[in-house]
Amino acid sequence: QNLPGKTALVTGGASGIGLGIAKALLGAGMNVAIADIRDDHLAQGSAELADVAGGATDRILALKLDVTDRANYAAVADAIEARFGKIHILVNNAGVAVVGPTDLATFADWDWVMGVNLGGTINGIVTVLPRILSHGEGGHIVNTASMSALVPAAATTIYSSGKAAVTSMMECMRPELESRGVICSAFCPGAVQSNIAEAGKTRPAELAETGYAEADKRRQAGGNFSHLYQTKEQVGERVLEGILNDELYILTHSEFLVGVKERGEATTAAVQTHLPENPEYKQTFAMLFRNPAI
């Protein structure tokens, strides 16, 4: 990847992990558009990016975006192209979280988190992928998933299943798009210092009903461990490295090695190896599902 002079769009790019990624991409010489639902984050994020650029703000664009709003998304993509010409890197990063016992979750809990974390990512793919393909200069898509997509965590069902979906999206798109010059990566970090605990501030009124109010108070009373988390700058540089190396899985925290291995071993052990293989089926599977040309 030759990044200098090319353009990246980072959703949720005005705070936390997205801002860390935006800083790293700006530092690598890219034009960077951060798009975010919060005006205060856009102001703060723009200021931090201007510092990285040494005050030269011509490579920075900050735009208001609700990733669940498709018309808003198209207008933002138009504005970036009007300013920088093309979009080469899309980082689907905007995200929110609620956690708690699955039996207490309301439809609104599910709809809000899935709407932003999965729906917003779908909107990014549908809006921006054709634009990347049409200019023919190649590109990269990074979905910010989470380690929770790979290592099961109790009482995070809504959040983790949405993150598993955006990981799977990258796994499926990777072989399909590689030959057309677009590389896909799933970014699966462990805990990172950010403002995600404030996510409720952007929760729409029509999706306000939560089953988690008490569960969340208990969780918060459990303590604040943020001093143990990685910084947004650390993970931003890691994402840049993953982009430069064309990595499918961009991982961060080595503490999760055991969990990642256990999952791989459990799924491997569950394969019914005592049953005979049907070579024709195996070949058909390989032809139909692993062939990017189809």
**Rule CB under 6 A: is residue 36 a binding residue for ligand NAI?**
yes
The token pair that represents 36 in the structure block: 């975010």
**Rule CB under 6 A: is residue 167 a binding residue for ligand NAI?**
no
Q: Check 73, 159, 212, 249 and give the catalytic one.
A: 159
Q: In the annotation, is 249 catalytic?
A: no
Q: Which residue, 31 or 144, has its beta carbon nearer to ligand NAI?
A: 144
The alpha helices in the chain, defined as continuous H runs, are: 16-27, 39-52, 70-84, 107-114, 120-135, 157-177, 213-221, 232-244, 257-270, 279-289
**Rule CB under 6 A: is residue 15 a binding residue for ligand NAI?**
yes
The helix/strand/coil state of 4 is coil
d(CA 145, CA 118): 10
Q: Which residue, 39 or 137, has its beta carbon nearer to ligand NAI?
A: 39
Residues 6+ apart with CB under 8 A from 273: none
**Rule CB under 6 A: is residue 108 a binding residue for ligand NAI?**
no
**Rule CB under 6 A: is residue 109 a binding residue for ligand NAI?**
no
User: Using CA of residue 211, residue 216, residue 219, residue 225, what is the dihedral sign?
Assistant: positive
Instruction: Identify the residue among 74, 196, 207, 215 touching ligand NAI (CB under 6 A).
Output: 196
Q: How many residues bind ligand NAI (CB under 6 A)?
A: 33
The nearest distance, CB 219 to ligand NAI, in angstroms, is 14
d(CA 80, CA 13): 14
Catalytic residues, which ones? 159
Where on the chain is the footprint of ligand NAI (CB under 6 A)?
11-12, 14-18, 36-38, 41, 65-68, 93-97, 116-117, 120, 144, 146, 189, 191-192, 194-196, 199, 202
